[in-house]
Amino acid sequence: MTAKPKKLVLGLPKGSLQDATFLMMKKAGFNISVGSRSYLPAINDPGLEGRLIRAQEISRYVEHGMLDAGITGYDWILENQSDVQVVADLIYAKQGLRPVRWVLAVPEKSPIRSVKDLRGKRIATEAVSLTRQYLRRNKVKAEVEFSWGATEAKAPELVDAIVELTETGSSLRAANLRIVDEVLQSTTKLIANRKAWKNPWKRRKIEQLALLLAGALAAETKVLLKLNVQQKNLPKVLSILPALHAPTVNRLSSEGWYSVESVVDEPVVREIIPALKEAGAEGIIEIGLNKVVP
Amino acid sequence: MTAKPKKLVLGLPKGSLQDATFLMMKKAGFNISVGSRSYLPAINDPGLEGRLIRAQEISRYVEHGMLDAGITGYDWILENQSDVQVVADLIYAKQGLRPVRWVLAVPEKSPIRSVKDLRGKRIATEAVSLTRQYLRRNKVKAEVEFSWGATEAKAPELVDAIVELTETGSSLRAANLRIVDEVLQSTTKLIANRKAWKNPWKRRKIEQLALLLAGALAAETKVLLKLNVQQKNLPKVLSILPALHAPTVNRLSSEGWYSVESVVDEPVVREIIPALKEAGAEGIIEIGLNKVVP
Amino acid sequence: MTAKPKKLVLGLPKGSLQDATFLMMKKAGFNISVGSRSYLPAINDPGLEGRLIRAQEISRYVEHGMLDAGITGYDWILENQSDVQVVADLIYAKQGLRPVRWVLAVPEKSPIRSVKDLRGKRIATEAVSLTRQYLRRNKVKAEVEFSWGATEAKAPELVDAIVELTETGSSLRAANLRIVDEVLQSTTKLIANRKAWKNPWKRRKIEQLALLLAGALAAETKVLLKLNVQQKNLPKVLSILPALHAPTVNRLSSEGWYSVESVVDEPVVREIIPALKEAGAEGIIEIGLNKVVP
Amino acid sequence: MTAKPKKLVLGLPKGSLQDATFLMMKKAGFNISVGSRSYLPAINDPGLEGRLIRAQEISRYVEHGMLDAGITGYDWILENQSDVQVVADLIYAKQGLRPVRWVLAVPEKSPIRSVKDLRGKRIATEAVSLTRQYLRRNKVKAEVEFSWGATEAKAPELVDAIVELTETGSSLRAANLRIVDEVLQSTTKLIANRKAWKNPWKRRKIEQLALLLAGALAAETKVLLKLNVQQKNLPKVLSILPALHAPTVNRLSSEGWYSVESVVDEPVVREIIPALKEAGAEGIIEIGLNKVVP
Amino acid sequence: MTAKPKKLVLGLPKGSLQDATFLMMKKAGFNISVGSRSYLPAINDPGLEGRLIRAQEISRYVEHGMLDAGITGYDWILENQSDVQVVADLIYAKQGLRPVRWVLAVPEKSPIRSVKDLRGKRIATEAVSLTRQYLRRNKVKAEVEFSWGATEAKAPELVDAIVELTETGSSLRAANLRIVDEVLQSTTKLIANRKAWKNPWKRRKIEQLALLLAGALAAETKVLLKLNVQQKNLPKVLSILPALHAPTVNRLSSEGWYSVESVVDEPVVREIIPALKEAGAEGIIEIGLNKVVP
Amino acid sequence: MTAKPKKLVLGLPKGSLQDATFLMMKKAGFNISVGSRSYLPAINDPGLEGRLIRAQEISRYVEHGMLDAGITGYDWILENQSDVQVVADLIYAKQGLRPVRWVLAVPEKSPIRSVKDLRGKRIATEAVSLTRQYLRRNKVKAEVEFSWGATEAKAPELVDAIVELTETGSSLRAANLRIVDEVLQSTTKLIANRKAWKNPWKRRKIEQLALLLAGALAAETKVLLKLNVQQKNLPKVLSILPALHAPTVNRLSSEGWYSVESVVDEPVVREIIPALKEAGAEGIIEIGLNKVVP
């Protein structure tokens, strides 16, 4: 008798987070392909079953157990007030390695200057519950209505204020809106159903996923620098390399020469390459990385 | 002192109903152009101010008076339970001159056979209130949850049933779903704010809009047939033309010849043209119409 | 007991002829809509069942009776050597109201000057049988091979000559090819299965289709001219109007004025409008037509 | 001996004016088709040879005789300071039946309030000569530089002011620019080479083009209204119809009934249809027109 | 006197295999760029001349010597029954590193359960010869007809069964078809003309191509793992690394530390990274590879 | 008091050079993202402020100091006759790592055979000044006119010759034009404003940019080869590796084995891999590089 193979059912976010998530999963070692039936993407791991679901809904189905785990935004976990296990913070959002922000915005010429001024006003948002939680925290009573889209066009004619997602604020400015307050910063999370989290096999699978995703994410902003250097210049070269990741130093066959390798944060590279050259480093090369696991 | 010109603020449906609505408005004599600020489309009538808003929200803003009137689907008026004046039934929907249908659908192999079987089940839909009204009418208690999209993929894994829009049923079949019941048939409506409806100038403007839209809609399925016929064949020819719209008969300069014009329903044309020819009609021509006002 | 409704199964050409065919059908009074299952388009006539099939294959399935009738190119009827009833010549092709041409083409610098020079050569074409029939008519033996596409790129390196479809010859010129001979001119045909043609109900339906398509096609190049003219100028005005379609002359209520209407070929209009004005015609208007049935 | 057929070489504007021009030409009776060699569009009139050239350059080539006639914007005739015969004003521009405007615009917060304030400033524009003519008329000295595009993004950082085309002003507002002055209003013109204008055959051909284009343009904003009315209501109905175009009145075969036809400006239709109904008109239909030649 | 440079004429598959092939060639070190004349792509190797030809036709032209070598699917080599030298099996197909399958499929409700049931039936396919070979192998007589496309829509109305390409079977399921048998598995092959294969220079060039393509293909599924480890943990770490590719071990300058590098199959990575960490590995990094030549 | 942070304002080329430039900047370590306001792209370096401007205009604004530095084509620096500091030659253009060419072209059948034959002729070009400089160098007087586009269609009807950009010459050939002379070869340059170049902070920033861009460009055509080899084969293996970049040789823990690493020009790889294998190299792997700084 063959036992049914073990499977982890994993919710993947359809829509704006999808591309970034699939890329991270690929770097973590999991290829996802979406065929004509997009709800059931194929993953090249017999232990994983993907489900492609709107980010807004994933935490709901993880909570109720239709999914064992899921990748979704922190904002929608709060909006749904879902009781789930947050396993890992994956520090990416729609457009890169930084959080998105939900902000309270009003028309440029509105007299509203703080959340307190919202008393009795009408607010449109896609995140009704999130907005109500925010108002409650601030002890303000106001009417919150669900917006089906184009929220930034609604103030001031249809509503007094909006709570809307923004990355750079430029689409708010283009709509002549002013940011009054930040309601929430949100990044992507790996979450698990509380019961699945207690199942040893499932927990191990989820933790493997978390480790590999973290390794892939770390590699996003890191590169490998390699260089050769003479013994006399070695201390100076080593002093330039950031202390965080200890460089690998290795004696070469050519007398008196060393090779040095170090994983470096990408934004630092552009600062130190001129300095390394000056310090006597030769043959500097930079190599991209798929994963970095410290 | 110049009086501010009178304006009717009119909500126009953004999204799937938009193209059909703009076409009807154009045939009715109103050109709408959407620039970079799509919320404020321009209309070539100084008495009208357009607002481009999701069909789901129009009735809400008509009810509360931000809009004087609006064009939206009957389904969303019910979903919002808006208290508005329904002025005219415009018998078109997204894809032509017929209603759309909201249906209750379940997986092919589901044991659910009627609304009664929904007791205690979970239903996903974009129209939560509509679905709850339907369940209440049928005295059934079930859990209804808002679906952010791709609803037809959710059954049976995430929910037991869905309530979804359909035109031909083909996308439901493609998802291996079976229609159990029709929840609602919906067409497009011209609606008015109750206070605006009592304002004589606004009501007159809304009624003009209703008359012209009705004329444009009627013209969609009608054509003008013109033909010449000799006196001896006139009675036979007239007997073939539908009685509904009395034909215009006119004596020509050529002795014994008459011209006949008649507005005819387009689907009838393909049946009667062979008959008219046989009855002696000559020089039959068919002309398209912009408006038909009986 | 209800009798099964009578149906005519009609093959419609998928691909390059599709748009032109659907437009003609629409003008003839038949709206065709293609949903997600494109093989089964819907037609707004309960007596017609559409099948969307490549033009290359329609005559094959009409001959064998899977289709009662079909609209396809004359070229593919010959290519398939199908035994079918040709009901009507619909004088349109892919890009307008003129035939397409299959031509024999060779590289600019090829020594081949006539079909006779093909002896022993290799020819690539999408229409292998058509080309073989052409060679046989010309008593030339040559190798003909099926081309899966990009035929015009194959000469001179892969083959010596090609037989290819052309409308203006410009893509052949762009590939540095020279037309040696015309193999076939082809227009669109309405064809019927021989057995279906003997069934009275089906034949009547096919003839109705033929009449309405012919009316729609005729209307493509005709317009209605209307004008008013005083009695003294009437003869001159009438002499300018083409004799083919007798104008409808009508006495107006204004003493001494006549209205004149005439269906005119569109290319003629631009010649006669200046002449009509000079002859005293007033209020000349031109109206487009959906159908003209003489 | 065969004489070479007479031909008029006509410049047609490539780019933003192209679609509107082709549509007008089609309504005037000339089908233009652009193949792979877009410089040489085909026109269905053996007496016309089209050349598709940027609107900016047409007047230059008409002046120098490479083209006999051309359709282009008044702005570019002035920019090129071309000595050509202006034959007709075709009152359309890129986006409809109204002129485009070249305006002087500056950043919202600029101290520049009038053309006089431009002294010593730097202005970017696609129409360098036009702008210099404007400055000269206003006796202002300033530096004008050619802008290769995205002109509205250049102020205030790269230049002090711009001279730019606008239709609704919305893209200027979106770039936070303020209109200071109107430099030019421009519509489309039919122009002729001075020598071609003196050639009788060419002049006749150009005038035919002008007449038909004018007829097509007039038809853009007019429709034919047809209605039936009883004798007693005839005067009232006639009094409602605009006086400009005398209606055609005609006694019907039915005793005491008249048919009335009138060409009416389209924006008027929406006002008078309710009035006509009230006055006793029946069976009102509205028909679109291809050409109106008074 | 300059000798004409030696050239290998190489057929590259146009269409569905094109992207995957160009990518492999690029990884192998050959950049192919397709300009406006797509038949003649440019390759950055003076010894190679590319020809872009439909995969269906390449083996035909390799056999006849118009091409020295080609990259095409095994299916089309069989379909054309081409006598060519198969040089290398490149284990990719349209959508990844796995074969495509030609299958025999019938409507869900068809009584056909095995190839034997095809006797006397009609089968549509793009691969007529392949299908006939299959039937002959199975000693079944049936009618096979060429399908110009949309083959899966043809059963059951037009034919009884189809032989069609599939990767996941999902488009067959969507068309309500059931797979009865597998006709062929096919991958991409590098093939050579028999005469070219005997020419030493050409054979050397083809073998170089085969080696580099194999290296690029191997790299598709492999990565380089690097890590540092203390001497005491070295044996455990080494025992975890797959035995297939011997790891490179190297003493570092820091006393008692070793660096380990190993090429690892990508799917294994996600299993061993947690184990390596547990075994004491530090600073694990994963690097992508362009080529792996064992 | 906080000092304003130092910023270098950098012009980036909008249009055909944009993609290649953004890619190089990214490899150099600078991510550029273009939002809704494309004039102000964001760069992930607080010391850089990007401006997205047409390549044609950048040198003008660098010269006048609105930009501190810029990346643009050498052709447009000459066309604008801008007095700027050329800091680095970045050897890429629109379509790869090679210059673009401006050529003088005439119709195939034109009698013009050299620049001398242009005397008194009319030339169309987008680069009027460049063309005039070229004529002056060749002591030829001719009329040069600005072309707004589609320049290659203008000869011979509108002008006698053109000066146009070309990469492969194929679009000129398609227009039946013949290249008479090369006017200019152009690559991309990093340029600086003369005053900014004297400011130490700005110069240092520009030099850093130049160094990193050069490193990224060098990496475009180089790869890292790694291999293992036994001592006896080491000399032979080292003799095969190009002398330019000295290989890094390293004794492995396995007795008698060495690892060898070398940065190699990519086009050389395909030649030496077979040779290296033959010489006893094992486990050859190739790794792509982000930057190479010698």
Instruction: Quote the tokens at residue C164.
Output: 């290819």
Q: Count Cβ atoms within 10 A of the Cβ of residue A23 and give its class: 0-12 exposed, 13-18 middle, 19 or more buried.
A: middle
Among partner residues C54, C60, C66, which is closest to E149 by beta-carbon distance? C54
Q: What is the residue-wise DSSP string for B186-245?
A: E-EEEEE-HHHHHSHHHHHHHHHHHHHHHHHHHHHTEEEEEEEEEGGGHHHHHHHS-SSS
CB E259 within 8 A of CB A250: yes
Among partner residues F207, F246, F292, which is closest to A285 by beta-carbon distance? F292
Q: What is the mean pLDDT of residues A58-82?
A: 97
Task: Say how far apart CA C53 and CA C9 lie, in whole Å.
Answer: 12
> At residue E1, does pLDDT exceed 50?
no
Q: What is the residue-wise DSSP string for B133-154?
A: HHHHHTT---EEEE--S-GGGS
CB C82 within 8 A of CB C61: no
Among partner residues C168, C273, C288, which is closest to D293 by beta-carbon distance? C273
Max mean pLDDT range (B69-78, B248-257, E91-100): B69-78
CB E68 within 8 A of CB E192: yes
- State the pLDDT confidence band at A28, using cuts at 50, 70 and 90: very high
Nearest CA in chain C to E40: C153
CB contact under 8 A, A286 and F36: no
CB contact under 8 A, C147 and E57: yes
> At residue C103, does pLDDT exceed 80?
yes
CB C160 within 8 A of CB C110: yes
- Per residue in D55-82, pLDDT (tens digit) is 999 999 999 999 999 999 999 999 999 9
Query: Given this model, what pLDDT does residue E175 score?
Result: 84
Q: Nearest-CA neighbor of D167 among D213, D99, D228?
A: D99
Query: Given this model, what pLDDT does residue D2 score?
Result: 53
Q: Coil, strand or helix: which one is C224?
A: strand
Instruction: Quote the tokens at residue A208.
Output: 């493997």
Query: Given this model, what pLDDT does residue C34 score?
Result: 86
Task: Say how far apart CA F28 and CA F214 lie, in whole Å.
Answer: 8
Give pLDDT < 70 ranges for chain F. 1-4, 36-37, 94-96, 243-245
List chains touching B (3+ CB pairs under 8 A): A, C, D
> At residue A2, does pLDDT exceed 60?
no
Which chain F residues are closer than 8 Å to E44 by Cβ?
Answer: 267
- State the pLDDT confidence band at C105, using cuts at 50, 70 and 90: very high
Task: Say how far apart CA F279 and CA F277 lie, in whole Å.
Answer: 5
Task: Say how far apart CA C254 and CA C146 lie, in whole Å.
Answer: 71
- State the pLDDT confidence band at A245, using cuts at 50, 70 and 90: low
- Per residue in C43-72, pLDDT (tens digit) is 989 999 999 999 999 999 999 999 999 999
Q: Which of E266, E284, E286, E289 to mutate to test the interface with A (most CBs of A within 10 A)?
A: E286
Residues from B contacting A (CB-CB < 8 Å) are 14, 37-39, 51, 53-54, 56-57, 60-61, 66, 145, 147-150, 153-154, 157-158
CB contact under 8 A, C292 and B273: no
- State the pLDDT confidence band at E149, using cuts at 50, 70 and 90: confident
ipTM of the shown complex: 0.86
Cα end-to-end distance, chain E, whole Å: 42
> At residue C37, does pLDDT exceed 70?
no
Instruction: Quote the tokens at residue E67.
Output: 């091409």
Task: Return the number of CB contacts < 8 Å for E and F.
Answer: 75
The single-letter code of the amino acid at E39 is Y
- The CB density around residue D20, as the number of other CB atoms within 10 Å, is 19
CB contact under 8 A, C36 and B270: no
Task: Say how far apart CA F48 and CA F46 lie, in whole Å.
Answer: 6
CA distance C185 to chain D (A): 21
Give pLDDT < 70 ranges for chain D. 1-4, 36-37, 94-96, 243-245
Among partner residues D171, D250, D273, which is closest to B250 by beta-carbon distance? D250
Q: What are phi and psi of A236, to 5 degrees?
A: -65, -45
Residues from D contacting B (CB-CB < 8 Å) are 95, 168, 170-171, 174, 223, 228, 250, 252-254, 259, 266-267, 269-270, 273-274, 277, 282-288
- The proportion of chain B whose per-residue pLDDT surpasses 90, expressed as a percent, equals 77
SS3 letters across E44-109 = CCCCEEEEEEEHHHHHHHHHCCCCCEEEEEHHHHHHHCCCCEEEEEECCECCECCCEEEEEEEECC
Among partner residues F252, F270, F285, which is closest to E263 by beta-carbon distance? F285
Q: Coil, strand or helix: which one is A8?
A: strand
H helix or E strand, kind and range, residue C248: strand C248-251
Q: Nearest-CA neighbor of A209 among A3, A4, A5, A12?
A: A12
CB contact under 8 A, C289 and B284: no
Residue entry with tokens 């994993």 = A10
CB D264 within 8 A of CB D223: yes
CB E112 within 8 A of CB E106: yes
Query: Given this model, what pLDDT does residue C15 score?
Result: 86
Task: Say how far apart CA E28 and CA E292 lie, in whole Å.
Answer: 10
Query: Given this model, what pLDDT does residue F3 score?
Result: 60
DSSP state for residue D84 in the 8-state scheme: -
Interacting residues of F83 by C-beta distance below 8 A, sequence separation 6+: F63, F194
Query: Given this model, what pLDDT does residue A250 score?
Result: 85
H helix or E strand, kind and range, residue F189: strand F188-192
Q: Nearest-CA neighbor of B39 among B23, B25, B57?
A: B57
CB contact under 8 A, E148 and C38: no
H helix or E strand, kind and range, residue D282: strand D282-288
Query: Given this model, what pLDDT does residue D1 score?
Result: 44
CB D264 within 8 A of CB D272: yes
Query: Given this model, what pLDDT does residue B1 score?
Result: 43
Q: What is the Cα B228 distance to its own chain's centre?
A: 36
CB E71 within 8 A of CB E229: no
Q: Coil, strand or helix: which one is C252?
A: coil
Q: What is the mean pLDDT of residues A78-88?
A: 97
Which of A252-261, C193-202, D111-120 is predicted with the least confidence, judged by mean pLDDT?
A252-261
SS3 letters across D183-219 = EEEECEEEEECHHHHHCHHHHHHHHHHHHHHHHHHHH
Instruction: Quote the tokens at residue F56.
Output: 């044609």
Residues from F contacting E (CB-CB < 8 Å) are 95-96, 168, 170-171, 174, 223, 228, 250, 252-254, 259, 266-267, 269-270, 273-274, 277, 282-288
Q: State chain E's mean pLDDT as an integer.
A: 92
Query: Given this model, what pLDDT does residue B35 score?
Result: 72
Which of A65-69, A90-94, C266-270, D148-152 is predicted with the least confidence, judged by mean pLDDT?
A90-94
CB D172 within 8 A of CB D105: yes
Q: Count Cβ atoms within 10 A of the Cβ of residue A236 and give its class: 0-12 exposed, 13-18 middle, 19 or more buried.
A: middle
Tell me the pTM: 0.86
Q: What are phi and psi of A80, to 5 degrees?
A: -85, -5
Q: What is the mean pLDDT of residues E12-26?
A: 92
Nearest CA in chain C to D37: C170
Rg (CA), chain D: 24
Helices (H) and strands (E) in chain D, counts: 9, 17
CB contact under 8 A, C170 and D251: no
Q: Which of E16, E49, E57 to mutate to test the interface with C (most CBs of C within 10 A)?
A: E57
Q: Which of B39, B56, B152, B159 to mutate to test the interface with A (most CBs of A within 10 A)?
A: B39
| CB crowding E139-166: b at 16 or more within 10 Å, else e | ebebebbbbbebbbbbbeebbbbbbbbb
Residue entry with tokens 């003209």 = C292
Contact F/B (≥3 CB pairs under 8 Å):
no
List chains touching F (3+ CB pairs under 8 A): A, D, E
Interacting residues of C90 by C-beta distance below 8 A, sequence separation 6+: C24, C71, C187, C188, C189, C190, C213, C214, C217
- Per residue in B153-175, pLDDT (tens digit) is 999 999 999 999 987 777 888 78
Instruction: Quote the tokens at residue C184.
Output: 């076939």
Q: Count Cβ atoms within 10 A of the Cβ of residue A255 and give its class: 0-12 exposed, 13-18 middle, 19 or more buried.
A: exposed
Beta strands at E32-33 and E69-73: parallel, antiparallel or unpaired:
unpaired
Which chain C residues are closer than 8 Å to E7 by Cβ?
Answer: none
CB E238 within 8 A of CB E262: no
Among partner residues A223, A254, A283, which is closest to F294 by beta-carbon distance? A283
Instruction: Quote the tokens at residue B196.
Output: 């605006």
> At residue B93, does pLDDT exceed 80?
no
Q: What is the mean pLDDT of residues C124-153?
A: 96
- Per residue in B43-66, pLDDT (tens digit) is 989 999 999 999 999 999 999 999
What strands, in cross-sheet order, belong to the sheet with F291-293? Answer: A248-251, A257-265, A222-230, A282-288, F291-293
Q: Within 13 Å, how many C-alpha atoms sit on residue D222's CB side?
A: 25
Q: What is the mean pLDDT of residues E119-132?
A: 97
SS3 letters across B44-94 = CCCCEEEEEEEHHHHHHHHHCCCCCEEEEEHHHHHHHCCCCEEEEEECCEC
Task: Say how far apart CA E292 and CA F282 lie, in whole Å.
Answer: 10
- Per residue in A146-166, pLDDT (tens digit) is 999 889 999 999 999 999 998
Q: Residue D156: is the preceding peptide bond cis (ω within 30°)?
A: yes
Task: Say how far apart CA C70 and CA C87 lie, in whole Å.
Answer: 10
Query: Given this model, what pLDDT does residue F245 score?
Result: 64
Q: Nearest-CA neighbor of F16 among D149, D159, E18, D154?
A: D149
Q: What are phi and psi of A116, to 5 degrees?
A: -60, -30
- Per residue in C160-170, pLDDT (tens digit) is 999 999 877 77
> At residue C193, does pLDDT exceed 70?
yes
Nearest CA in chain F to D9: F157
Which of A254-258, C178-182, D201-205 is predicted with the least confidence, judged by mean pLDDT?
A254-258
Instruction: Quote the tokens at residue C20.
Output: 């032109």
- State the pLDDT confidence band at A1, using cuts at 50, 70 and 90: very low
Task: Say how far apart CA A141 and CA A144 lie, in whole Å.
Answer: 9
> At residue C143, does pLDDT exceed 70?
yes
